[in-house]
Amino acid sequence: MNHPISRHWPAPAKLNLFLHVNGRRADGYHELQTLFQFIDCCDQLDFQPTESPELVLHSTLSEEVADKDNLIIRAAQALKQATGYHGGAHIWLEKNLPMGGGLGGGSSDAATTLVALNALWQTGLTPAQLGDIGLTLGADVPIFIHGHAAFAEGVGEKLQPADPTEPWYLVITPKVHVCTATVFKDPDLPRNTAKLTFDTLMLNPWRNDCEKLVCRRYPQVANALAWLIEYAPSRMTGTGACVFGEFKEQQQALAALSNLPADMDGFVAKGMNISPLELRLRQL
């Protein structure tokens, strides 16, 4: 029996409004303090539950990423394993977010898969249980499951809901893939920023500890940031490559976008403290 296709499950991008590296742990992971906020630019996924156990991904990505390495398939398999669910699914991915840009696209796709299939398969896991599965797939996956802007500590798994302002952003996507693991292994990465309380961090100027290093290694990122900072307060997100500038009005962001040099790509998006995925889940 074929189930109906459940459409339009968003996998939103995130921005790190600040990112501090507080130290390196014995297991090689880094202690971080960061503030995550979603934006309304999303990958889109459709799901069709099946009685048969196969998981089939329909996406142009499968030419670039083998199924066994694909976070969407791995997320669905992990949910099946955790719950003993016997069915499967056909999954369609429309990829809109750049890969390796620091916007969390792959992690967000995995989170949307866990949240959507948990609902559609009726496997009944709580968000916290889904977050535990998500953490095995990537440090950023729990924030997308959590569904609310958050201050994160540890390796990114300790989350405290936050409500920063929701400005408009101009996001520039340099044509370069920055490998997160390479950035965190780099001996020149600053790793000794003092831990501060959330309230103190909200009052201090925001920065990204990875930004200087990435700008030195990738001139495309440095150029994008140098251009954008002329228009608005601007930073890099995550380990890059994307950089973002904050604008109070959509019109100001669009005006800056219209001046973007021909060799740069970018888009305008709205900051959102409630994730588009959370809003979609509430429609069920």
Catalytic residue numbers read 14, 140
Task: Show Cβ contacts of residue 130 under 8 Å, excluding neighbours closer than 6 positions.
Answer: 79, 111, 114, 115, 118, 145
Pairing of strands 150-153, 158-161: antiparallel
Could you tell me which of 263, 229, 221, 262 has the C-alpha nearest to residue 245?
229
Question: Do residues 247 and 256 touch, judged by C-beta distance below 8 A?
Answer: yes
End-to-end CA distance of the chain: 22
Provide the CA 38 distance to its chain's centre, in angstroms: 8
Q: What are the Cα distances from residue 276, in Å, to 58, 118, 131, 141, 282? A: 22, 17, 17, 15, 10
